[in-house]
Chain A
Amino acid sequence: MRAPLSWLREYVTVDASTEELARRLSVSALEVDRIIDVGVADIDGNLDRFLVGRVLEVVPHPNADRLRVCQVDVGEGDARQIVCGAWNFDAGATVAVALPGALLPTLDVPLDERELRGRLSRGMILAEDEVGLGPDHAGIMLLPDTLEPGTPLVDVLPIREQVLDVTPTINRVDLLSMVGLAREVAALLDGELHPPEPEDPEVVDREPVEVVVEDPEGCPRYIGRVFRDVSVGPSPQWLRSRLHLAGMRSISNVVDVTNYVMLVYGSPLHAFDRSKLSGGRIVVRRARPGEALRTLDGVLRELDPRDLLITDGEQPVALAAIMGGEESEVGTETTEVLLEAANFEPLGILRSSERHALRTEGSNRWEKGVDPHLAEPAAVLASRLIVDLSGARLTGHVDVHSGLPERPVVRFRPTRASRLIGMEVAEAEQRALLTRFGFDVSPEWEVTVPTWRARDVTREVDVIEEVARAVLDRVPHTMPLRRHVRGRLTKEQRLRRVVEDVLVGAGLSEAYTWSLVASDPRPDAIRLPDPMSADQAVLRTTIVPGLVAAARTALDVGADAVRLFEIARVYLPSGERLPEERWRVAGVVRGGYATVKGVLETLYGALHLELRVERGEHPLLHPGKAAVTAAGWLGELHPTLLEGTWGAFELDLADLFAAVPERVVYEDVLTYPAVRQDIAVVVDEEVEVGALVDAAREAGGTLVREARVFDVYRGEQVGTGQKSVAIHLAFQSPERTLTDEEAAELRERIVAALAERFGARLRS
């Protein structure tokens, strides 16, 4: 909301600059997005060069068809000659004048005395756009004839203005109004509040106003007022200017009044052309199947049975609280007006507004819950202005409601407030603060909440907030005592960090990829019923595809040694309401099977685990170069996924960490030396070297300290379909030095086992 300061200061007298005011509001009440400077500059007496003038004489310019030469009294004694291009006035008009030397926001240089087609012009008669008071440049501004020539224009119109651009939080709809803001300013800066106190016009030639509310829950209050002899026309300059500065467009006197009063009280109003209400009455009800309404924006809207409508007893005439109908719009022909000052239930309005994707100044307030008590002052001020500005007569009034809500009463303990805030706030200060915010506080601290806060403040803690926000600037910064804290990472969290660090140390960079993907290898992966885009429609069950895309990004920007990993959740369908969320680590590295296996051997080693793999398969992997482990899979990426040779892996972290030992227990490898022996055996090509090593360990028993393949040779010397596998063996006992005989025997046992299991021949 935009709050012009001159308007705000009309309702509150406070000794504070705009900046102080904005600062105080932003700490204790609502967000102040910025302070906007509008209008003419207040420097070097510039404001003195803007005066009220009276046109004494107007004659056509002898040398120019479009111009006229005016004599204007600006209170100087002698009249000033001003050449003017506007035609919307005559002699006797009261106008706004800028004198030579004036700085206008629309001009780069000060205004000059100058000749226009041979006639001297000693000033300028102002249009509203020339001083930031409106968008109009069709004619000059016309001011009330009661003003004396020579009156400083700044006393009449906000030609020098600052506007607060504010955004209240959702619970403070009361601050979407000038009166609400003024009340807040008065409370926080110890100002004096004087809200408008309009005098209700008298009802003349009273006639009945028929209003039927069929849905009192949706519309707890409806004030209908009828005006006759309405003369619809442009609004006076002050009204046009205020609306403009508040960010609204001037339409006509009657419509402008409804918008203006909404800005004053925060309770939106609507004006119908009463002659267009064919049923002649107002019926508030839900829509019927098949009903439609063309709203003021020209859109024909199919109505939903949940939509609340204002009807004339026959036809819908407004989508309640959101937008009026085109048919019953107030226009220049209108002479009879039905003014609606009502109250609507927020949630239904919010839903309708969402359904029709239609948000208006009105719906924005109603959906937050407007105080039903405000309908009455809004109706009174609007009536006063309609009568004053359009020459209308108020001829009927009805107020339909079944009792207005009671003000909540809250038991409040000022000591509790001080304790929660963490600072002693004197009881007298608490009482004064609450009172200024509009709360009634009994001597026993029974706090009665003002009507405009009744939805938001219902509990003691809500009242404490009122005190806390007012003193927020003064609250001392402390730390909790923390007498019972035991902060440390869990085993899984610590190990996750180890995995991250080891992979980074192994040259992998961490990528972040989306958990929502276009598709997933698992057909039963969870699909969003209404995704934002087809690219983010499925909750992934595997991370590697995201890393493949990231690797492609890296290649596209020219990186070559691409090695990526990610630790993230996957979301596995569980058969329950919520999927099973598992932490995974995945990687994609340039290079083949051996590269990725090397990475995992390093990782497993760092976790004190042995990497054991078996041949396996996975849709993302090369079918001949795929392996599984107890915690996941690894292999060469299927060549259709990414050009070049790539390794990939994905491991479930809980499964991986389950085998990590709590602590590593010392093993004596120092006291007695190991006996090292290498053997080379020839086996069929199909025999996996892992099986050889396993068999060697099994045959050698606990004395085998190390059994590791260090070379595989194929060639003429071993024959086709065969390979020679060189295995490094180390035998060691923690209890004694092994003799050469013992070592030889172990070696023979191993060779024999390999021969028996795999037909292995020892190479000499």
Chain B
Amino acid sequence: MNPTELERRALSAVSAAATSDELERARVEYLGRKSELKLALRQVRDRETGMTLNALRERLERAIAEREAELERAELDRRLAEERVDVTMPGEPVPRGHLHLITQIRREVEDIFLGLGYTVVDGREVETTHYNFDALNFPPGHPSRSPLMTLFLDEETVLRTETSPSQIRTMEAQEPPVYMVSLGRVYRRDTPDATHTPIFHQVEGLAVDEGITLGDLLGTLDYLLKALFGEDRSTDFRIHHFPFTEPSVEAYVSCHLCDGSGCTVCRHSGWIEVGGSGMVDPNLFDVVGYDKERYTGFAFGWGLERIAVLRHGIPDLRELWRNDPRLLEQF
């Protein structure tokens, strides 16, 4: 037997094998029990021939293993090529819930103010007229005190008409400085229409410290408005009047639909009114026992539904309370 010749023939047979069957036949022929090589190995008498033939056997075994891997790989490639799917077919559904849009905005506002170092306060919804009106400096005869505008439980108890009672309760509970926001439901005797529901949500903000200025209020609201409506918006502030702030300021943001040039959403003014704010009236500090010479503060109270309908273009605010999944699942 000529090892060189044998090796040439064997390697050629291995590389010619196109299937695993053919490869197996080649293996049996060249490395099987009755193969020329195995027979020769059994008859080896001298060390040198033994080493030569064993080396040959190892080389053949390696060649077969390599060829086998090649064939397997080719087989896998072929199978994978046949296993195509229509990648545009839908996936298996995984149940997915949705946070209500108002909750999403509530969290957004909370996170904005947490980032600024404010705390979040949970106020209460049923309030005494003391916290809802008197302590907030509502004069006698203010329209909000009328049962035509407010839901009374009895003469001295109301469903809060704004989140502002949380200002008084927070200040009563702690010394300055105060940096807090409070979000929740408020109640008004409003006939439901596209822009009113008798129950809606507000965010109240309050900052009381030494040296708080009107500029701080405007800067904070400018930051909030741009965070909510986009950095490219402009903001505008105009004088207003509220019982619990002096001076009072109404905040506006440039209309996102017409970019300020005028459309029906902004009533052709280019501006959208977002909500009220102002410098805390010193009478409130008297109520809670803060030193009104030493401390100043600002506060604001905005409607979350209003932010939602303005920002997302929802034509009718009542839809946010109708729980139609077709609407809830858009957000």
- Residues on A lying within 8 angstroms of B by beta carbon are 26-29, 31, 34, 169-172, 346-347, 350-351, 354, 367, 419-423, 459, 461-462, 464-465, 468-469, 472, 475-490, 492-493, 497, 500, 503-516, 526, 528-532, 536, 539, 550, 553-554, 557, 559, 561-565, 568-569, 571, 577-579, 581, 583
Are B219 and A477 touching (Cβ within 8 A)?
A: yes
Are B325 and A27 touching (Cβ within 8 A)?
A: no
The smallest beta-carbon distance between A188 and chain B, in angstroms, is 11
Pick the residue among A26, A477, A505, A531 that contacts B218 (CB under 8 A): A477
- The tally of CB-CB contacts under 8 A between chains A and B is 229
Q: Could you mark each residue 283-301 of chain B with 1 if its beta carbon is under 8 Å from any beta carbon of chain A, else 0? A: 0000000000000100000
Are B213 and A539 touching (Cβ within 8 A)?
A: no
B316 at the interface (CB under 8 A from A): no
Pick the residue among A479, A532, A557 that contacts B216 (CB under 8 A): A479
Are B96 and A422 touching (Cβ within 8 A)?
A: no
Pick the residue among A367, A421, A497, A564 that contacts B214 (CB under 8 A): A421
The smallest beta-carbon distance between B172 and chain A, in angstroms, is 15
Q: A465-B247, A475-B218 are in contact. Are A484 and B146 (CB under 8 A)?
A: no
Q: Which of B36-44, B65-73, B100-108 sits within the interface?
A: B100-108
Are B97 and A506 touching (Cβ within 8 A)?
A: yes
**Chain A residue at minimal CB-CB distance from B131:** A578
Complex Cα gap A459–B110 (Å): 35
Residues of A within 8 A of B214 (CB): 420-422, 468, 475
Complex Cα gap A354–B156 (Å): 20
B53 at the interface (CB under 8 A from A): no
Residues of A within 8 A of B250 (CB): 31
Residues of B within 8 A of A483 (CB): 177, 209
Residues of A within 8 A of B213 (CB): 419-423, 478
**Chain B residue at minimal CB-CB distance from A539:** B126
Complex Cα gap A236–B47 (Å): 140
Q: Which of B11-19, B25-33, B56-64, B113-121 sits within the interface?
A: B113-121
Are B95 and A506 touching (Cβ within 8 A)?
A: yes
B229 at the interface (CB under 8 A from A): no
Are A504 and B98 touching (Cβ within 8 A)?
A: yes
Pick the residue among A478, A509, A562 that contacts B215 (CB under 8 A): A478
A-B contact pairs, 6 of them (CB 8 A): A170-B241, A421-B215, A468-B247, A479-B116, A506-B95, A513-B321
B50 at the interface (CB under 8 A from A): no
Q: A485-B179, A529-B154, A539-B126 are in contact. Are A480 and B207 (CB under 8 A)?
A: yes
Residues of A within 8 A of B119 (CB): 486-488, 490
The smallest beta-carbon distance between A631 and chain B, in angstroms, is 18
Residues of A within 8 A of B222 (CB): 477
Pick the residue among B147, B156, B223, B239 that contacts A27 (CB under 8 A): B239
Are A516 and B199 touching (Cβ within 8 A)?
A: yes
Are B325 and A485 touching (Cβ within 8 A)?
A: no
Are B97 and A504 touching (Cβ within 8 A)?
A: yes
Residues of A within 8 A of B122 (CB): 492-493, 583
Pick the residue among A26, A461, A539, A559 that contacts B325 (CB under 8 A): A559
Complex Cα gap A512–B100 (Å): 7
Are A509 and B97 touching (Cβ within 8 A)?
A: yes
Are A487 and B118 touching (Cβ within 8 A)?
A: yes
Residues of B within 8 A of A346 (CB): 141
Q: A468-B214, A480-B179, A554-B324 are in contact. Are A487 and B141 (CB under 8 A)?
A: no
Are A481 and B211 touching (Cβ within 8 A)?
A: yes
Are B211 and A482 touching (Cβ within 8 A)?
A: no
Residues of A within 8 A of B281 (CB): 461
**Chain B residue at minimal CB-CB distance from A487:** B117
- B: number of interface residues (CB 8 Å): 86
Q: A419-B213, A571-B126, A577-B156 are in contact. Are A469 and B98 (CB under 8 A)?
A: no
Residues of B within 8 A of A484 (CB): 177, 209
Complex Cα gap A569–B128 (Å): 17
Residues of A within 8 A of B223 (CB): 479
**Chain B residue at minimal CB-CB distance from A496:** B122
| 4 closest A-B pairs by CB | A507-B95, A422-B213, A485-B117, A422-B215
Q: A493-B122, A504-B98 are in contact. Are A476 and B325 (CB under 8 A)?
A: no
B136 at the interface (CB under 8 A from A): no
**Chain B residue at minimal CB-CB distance from A477:** B219
B233 at the interface (CB under 8 A from A): no
Complex Cα gap A541–B23 (Å): 79
Q: A34-B267, A477-B222, A536-B198 are in contact. Are A461 and B282 (CB under 8 A)?
A: yes
The smallest beta-carbon distance between B233 and chain A, in angstroms, is 14
**Chain A residue at minimal CB-CB distance from B327:** A557
Q: A26-B238, A506-B95 are in contact. Are A478 and B323 (CB under 8 A)?
A: no
Interface of B: prevailing SS: mixed
Residues of A within 8 A of B328 (CB): 509-511
Residues of B within 8 A of A482 (CB): 116-117, 177, 179, 209
Residues of B within 8 A of A568 (CB): 185
Q: A487-B118, A510-B99 are in contact. Are A532 and B325 (CB under 8 A)?
A: no
Are B120 and A489 touching (Cβ within 8 A)?
A: yes
Are A423 and B215 touching (Cβ within 8 A)?
A: yes
Complex Cα gap A691–B268 (Å): 70
B78 at the interface (CB under 8 A from A): no
**Chain A residue at minimal CB-CB distance from B127:** A578
B220 at the interface (CB under 8 A from A): yes
Known pairs A469-B239, A516-B198. 8 more at Cβ < 8 A? A421-B213, A464-B247, A476-B218, A504-B97, A528-B152, A564-B323, A569-B125, A578-B157
Residues of B within 8 A of A486 (CB): 117, 119
Are B239 and A472 touching (Cβ within 8 A)?
A: yes
Complex Cα gap A488–B113 (Å): 9
**Chain A residue at minimal CB-CB distance from B221:** A477
Residues of B within 8 A of A509 (CB): 97-98, 100, 325, 328-329
Are A488 and B325 touching (Cβ within 8 A)?
A: no
Residues of A within 8 A of B247 (CB): 464-465, 468-469
Residues of B within 8 A of A554 (CB): 323-325
Residues of A within 8 A of B203 (CB): none
Are B322 and A553 touching (Cβ within 8 A)?
A: yes
Q: A482-B116, A506-B95, A578-B126 are in contact. Are A420 and B100 (CB under 8 A)?
A: no
Are A29 and B126 touching (Cβ within 8 A)?
A: no
Are B124 and A462 touching (Cβ within 8 A)?
A: no
The smallest beta-carbon distance between B185 and chain A, in angstroms, is 6
The smallest beta-carbon distance between B97 and chain A, in angstroms, is 4
B326 at the interface (CB under 8 A from A): yes
Q: A482-B117, A571-B126 are in contact. Are A367 and B141 (CB under 8 A)?
A: yes
Taking CB atoms and an 8 Å cut-off, the chain B residues in 204-258 that contact chain A are 207, 209, 211-216, 218-220, 222-223, 236-241, 246-247, 249-250
**Chain A residue at minimal CB-CB distance from B155:** A529
Complex Cα gap A464–B100 (Å): 42
Residues of A within 8 A of B315 (CB): none
B143 at the interface (CB under 8 A from A): yes
Residues of A within 8 A of B114 (CB): 487-489
Are B246 and A479 touching (Cβ within 8 A)?
A: no
B194 at the interface (CB under 8 A from A): no
B151 at the interface (CB under 8 A from A): yes
Complex Cα gap A476–B114 (Å): 24
**Chain B residue at minimal CB-CB distance from A464:** B247
Are B215 and A530 touching (Cβ within 8 A)?
A: no
Q: A489-B110, A515-B199, A516-B199 are in contact. Are A508 and B279 (CB under 8 A)?
A: no
Residues of B within 8 A of A34 (CB): 267-269
**Chain B residue at minimal CB-CB distance from A469:** B239
Residues of A within 8 A of B76 (CB): none
Complex Cα gap A506–B219 (Å): 40
Complex Cα gap A510–B320 (Å): 11
Complex Cα gap A490–B114 (Å): 11
**Chain B residue at minimal CB-CB distance from A480:** B216
**Chain A residue at minimal CB-CB distance from B241:** A169
Complex Cα gap A197–B222 (Å): 46
B263 at the interface (CB under 8 A from A): no
Are A581 and B124 touching (Cβ within 8 A)?
A: yes
B140 at the interface (CB under 8 A from A): yes
**Chain B residue at minimal CB-CB distance from A556:** B324
Q: Could you mark each residue 75-99 of chain B with 1 if its beta carbon is under 8 Å from any beta carbon of chain A, else 0? A: 0000000000000000000111111
